[in-house]
Structure 1
Amino acid sequence: MEIEIATIGGYEEVGRQMTAVRAGDDIVVFDMGLNLSKVLIHDNIRTEEMRSLDLIDMGAIPDDRVMSELDGEVQAIVPTHGHLDHIGAISKLAHRYDAPIVATPFTRELVDEEVHDESEYVVNNDLISMEAGETMQIGEHCELEFVNVTHSIIDAINPVLHTPEGSIVYGLDKRVDHTPVIGDPIDMKRFREIGREDGGVLCYIEDCTNANKKGRTPSEAVARRQLRDVMRSIEDWDGGIVATTFSSHIARVKSIVEFAQDIGREPVLLGRSMEQYSGTAARLDGLDVGFPDDLGMYGHRKSVDRAFKRIMNEGKEKFLPVVTGHQGEPRAMLTRMGRGETPFELTDGDKVIFSARVIPEPTNEGQRYQSEKLLSMQGARIYDDVHVSGHLRQEGHYQMLDALQPQHVIPAHQDMAGFSGYVELAGNKGYDLGRDLHVTSNGNTIQLVE
């Protein structure tokens, strides 16, 4: 059986992920993501009202025209998790393919919301839920399997396409976490089994975000302990305390909410994406996220401002707002607070906890710098980098290569400089660049079996 891989997006940057695997006449597409930084550099752009070709020209979504070169039919579109760099282009591209979107329950709900907000295209693809550990038939000869992984969002998986020529493991995005705050640990046992099954792993496509960093990525339990320590250290402060983190990071939001209550403050989630992700997680049966029943979540601008007014009227010392804006996004809640555009008044000594790192990209770095400066000018004290990454470092990559023992490896989710650490460590495991280690770029195809 011919096996061909099209590296469509995410092979020259962190963002707009999209990869297609053709096994004979059957094609499976993994991820359809957005490069948010390409959108944020423009003022007041609403992607839901834009056409796909304009977004492709901006470099915001994958250029999927290379799909016309693949001789087969798309059988499934499979987003690995609910981050926008993996699902943000589904509303713009999925309607081109007569194929269902197959995802875990939480990811499926987030995709459904993206599709619902779309105003330019009608996306009628079936939405199918599949749990980690389950499989589905792809054509006559292949099978799709979801393997549970741990990442900075719940319900993440690595999909595996089992073919007669061996398995294709799509390894975006994960860390090896044995003590997650929500959900099950990464299923390393299953990865080891796949690596030793008949045919083994033909190809492993791997997220290289932290491949230049030594050591291993700490567990989310470490970030939880950091947060507890920071919040306990300021529990006697009688002014404002504000926290921000990735809206999609439900486990981190859960920790902030719990520790806010521990220090006698009422947590309130503020911002459109904060309400979207946490509200979706709280509503889904089977996801025991553990939010309090009376947790306030407000996304609409007027309802957010009403919440801020209540906080100011009743006393900042009684509340802990958890807000959007960890990257300094211009329209996010924390940025508006820094500009003095909300009813919440920051005063000298108020604490702002950034439970997130800056995404290493010039737009984000500039916006985050500006946000912190604005907050500091109002007297806020910054607690920075209370965080652990959701991506593997070098020792995690070695662990995955040992488990899977792939015949071929394709680095992804980085630019060429970011691939350098992975090329070196894969070389240490016996892989040769151009032979079985394939560093590629967007829009290319790699023929693994002819």
Structure 2
Amino acid sequence: MEIEIATIGGYQEVGRNMTAVRAGDDIVVFDMGLNLSQVLIHDDVRTEQMHSLDLIDMGAIPDDRVMSELEGDVKAIVPTHGHLDHIGAIGKLAHRYDAPIVGSPFTIELVRQEIEDESKFDVDNELIKMEGGETMEIGDEVDMEFVHVTHSIVGAVSPVLHTPEGAVIYGLDKRIDHNPVLEDPFDMERFRELGDEGVFAYIEDCTNAGRKGRTPSESLAREHLRDTLKSFEDYTGGIVATTFSSHVSRVSSLVEFAKEIGRKPILLGRSMEKYTNTARDLGYPIPDDLEIYGHRRSRERAFKRIMNEGKGNFLPVVTGHQGEPRAMLTRMARDETPFKFDEGDKVVFSARVIPEPTNEGQRYAAEKLLKMQGARIYDEIHVSGHLREEGHYQMLDAVRPDNIIPAHQSLSGIAPYVDLAESKGYTVGEDLHISRNGNIVQLNE
């Protein structure tokens, strides 16, 4: 069977991820993501109101014209998880393909909201929910399986195409977590079984391939967060926390620990409202009485209440960990909300700066503004959602693929993974394939 892999987006940068795998006459598209940095540098951009061609030209979404070079029918669009760099272009591109969108229940609910927000295109693709461990038929000779993985968002999966040539594993994004907070552990046993059965191709996320060691468990970030907040137990002033809105496990820990130190947690921000309410609707343990305010007027009222009743009684959890210009924490830093910082107030960043110049610059500016108001910064209370070097070593040992395609990074970011793969016996140009956006890798003729 002919196997071709179109590396459409995410092979020269972190973001706008999109890959298509053709197995015979059947094509499966994995991810349709947004390049957030290309959007953030334009302060007035509203992507839901823009045409796909304009977003392609500005480098914000994948240029999928290479799909015309694949001979076959698209049978499914498969987002691996609900981060915007994996689902943010679905509203712009999915309607071009007569295929269902298949994902985990949490991911599909987020996709549904993306489609509802889209104002330029009508997207009526069928939405299909599939859990880790389940399989669906793609064609006469191809099936797709979801393997449960752990990441910095619940509901992440690694899709696997089972072909006559062996398995094709799409490995973006994951970390090996044996003790996560809200969901099942990483399914390493299944990856080992796939390795024993035969893996023809492995597409791997290289985000942290250059960092030594292994990525710690979310449970370690949870304990670090608990220890940090406990150290404020006797502080009577303001404490503000920020993290990824999509990181439901981390948000749930913040809510729990706020109560442990005698403060009422309040979630503020549109994206905080979206992800937390979606998780609660799907049965994740989010307290029914948790106050969440996404709309501007309700946020303003919440801030006034915090100031009137005393900052020491509350722990607002807000958006803005990357210093995004319109996010809550940045507006607080610019003194654009009723919340006022006093000398010594604490700001907890339970997130790491995404290593990209736009994010780094915006985060630096936000921290400077916070410090000018007297805030004390508590940073790096976080663990990554991506594998480090030893995690990649474990995965290669487990799946033992015939072919490897590094992804989810610039060429310089891919280099450490290439070094590791070469140390395991792979050779660039033979079974280790370095590609760029818009290319097609022919693996089997």
Q: Indicate whether 1:394 and 2:389 are aligned.
A: yes
One-letter amino acid matched to 2:240: V
One-letter amino acid matched to 2:22: R
CA distance in 2 between counterparts of 1:215 and 1:421 reads 13
For 2:147, the equivalent position in structure 1 comes to: 147
CA distance in 2 between counterparts of 1:327 and 1:236 reads 28
Secondary structure of 2:28's aligned partner: strand
CA distance in 2 between counterparts of 1:268 and 1:47 reads 28
Q: Indicate whether 1:231 and 2:226 are aligned.
A: no
Tell me if structure 1 keeps the 8 A contact 2:148–2:187: yes
One-letter amino acid matched to 2:226: R
CA distance in 1 between counterparts of 2:355 and 2:29 reads 27
CA distance in 2 between counterparts of 1:43 and 1:253 reads 27
Secondary structure of 1:205's aligned partner: strand
For 1:201, the equivalent position in structure 2 comes to: 199
CA distance in 1 between counterparts of 2:241 and 2:111 reads 27
1:201 Cα deviation after fit = 0.4
1:43 Cα deviation after fit = 1.8
CA distance in 2 between counterparts of 1:173 and 1:370 reads 29
Q: Indicate whether 1:415 and 2:410 are aligned.
A: yes
Percent of aligned pairs with the same residue?
Answer: 73
Q: Describe the superposition over 1:316-371 as per-residue Cα deviations: whole angstroms up to 9, x where unpaired.
A: 00000000000000000000000000011111010000000000000000000000
4+ residue runs of structure 1 moved beyond 2 angstroms? none
* TM-score, scaled to structure 2: 1.00
1:178 Cα deviation after fit = 0.1
1:44 Cα deviation after fit = 1.0
Gaps of 5+ in 1: none
One-letter amino acid matched to 2:348: I
Q: Which of 333, 339, 350 is residue 334 of structure 2 equivalent to?
A: 339
Tell me how large the CA RMSD over aligned residues is: 0.5
One-letter amino acid matched to 2:96: R
For 1:93, the equivalent position in structure 2 comes to: 93
Q: Indicate whether 1:352 and 2:350 are aligned.
A: no
Name the count of aligned residue pairs. Answer: 445
* TM-score, scaled to structure 1: 0.98
Q: Describe the superposition over 1:48-74 as per-residue Cα deviations: whole angstroms up to 9, x where unpaired.
A: 000000000000000000000000000
CA distance in 1 between counterparts of 2:273 and 2:340 reads 22
Q: Indicate whether 1:297 and 2:297 are aligned.
A: no
One-letter amino acid matched to 1:447: Q
Q: Describe the superposition over 1:41-98 as per-residue Cα deviations: whole angstroms up to 9, x where unpaired.
A: 0121100000000000000000000000000000000000000000000000000000
For 1:376, the equivalent position in structure 2 comes to: 371
Secondary structure of 1:215's aligned partner: coil
For 1:434, the equivalent position in structure 2 comes to: 429
Q: Describe the superposition over 1:103-125 as per-residue Cα deviations: whole angstroms up to 9, x where unpaired.
A: 00000000000000000000000
1:293 Cα deviation after fit = 1.4
CA distance in 1 between counterparts of 2:376 and 2:360 reads 19
Q: Which of 239, 242, 250 is residue 241 of structure 1 equivalent to?
A: 239
For 2:307, the equivalent position in structure 1 comes to: 312
Tell me if structure 1 keeps the 8 A contact 2:148–2:157: yes
1:283 Cα deviation after fit = 0.9
CA distance in 2 between counterparts of 1:336 and 1:323 reads 11
Tell me if structure 1 keeps the 8 A contact 2:26–2:75: yes
Secondary structure of 1:396's aligned partner: helix
Q: Describe the superposition over 1:159-178 as per-residue Cα deviations: whole angstroms up to 9, x where unpaired.
A: 00000111100000000000
CA distance in 1 between counterparts of 2:375 and 2:180 reads 31
One-letter amino acid matched to 2:220: V
CA distance in 2 between counterparts of 1:138 and 1:363 reads 40
Tell me if structure 1 keeps the 8 A contact 2:12–2:437: yes
For 2:134, the equivalent position in structure 1 comes to: 134
Secondary structure of 1:317's aligned partner: helix
Q: Indicate whether 1:213 and 2:204 are aligned.
A: no
CA distance in 2 between counterparts of 1:122 and 1:413 reads 29
Secondary structure of 1:346's aligned partner: coil
1:235 Cα deviation after fit = 1.2
CA distance in 1 between counterparts of 2:338 and 2:274 reads 22
Secondary structure of 1:155's aligned partner: coil
CA distance in 1 between counterparts of 2:235 and 2:264 reads 14
Tell me if structure 1 keeps the 8 A contact 2:171–2:205: yes
Gaps of 5+ in 2: none
1:139 Cα deviation after fit = 1.1
Secondary structure of 2:132's aligned partner: coil
Q: Describe the superposition over 1:130-177 as per-residue Cα deviations: whole angstroms up to 9, x where unpaired.
A: 000000000111000000000000010000000011110000000000
Tell me if structure 1 keeps the 8 A contact 2:91–2:115: yes
Secondary structure of 2:274's aligned partner: helix
CA distance in 2 between counterparts of 1:117 and 1:304 reads 21
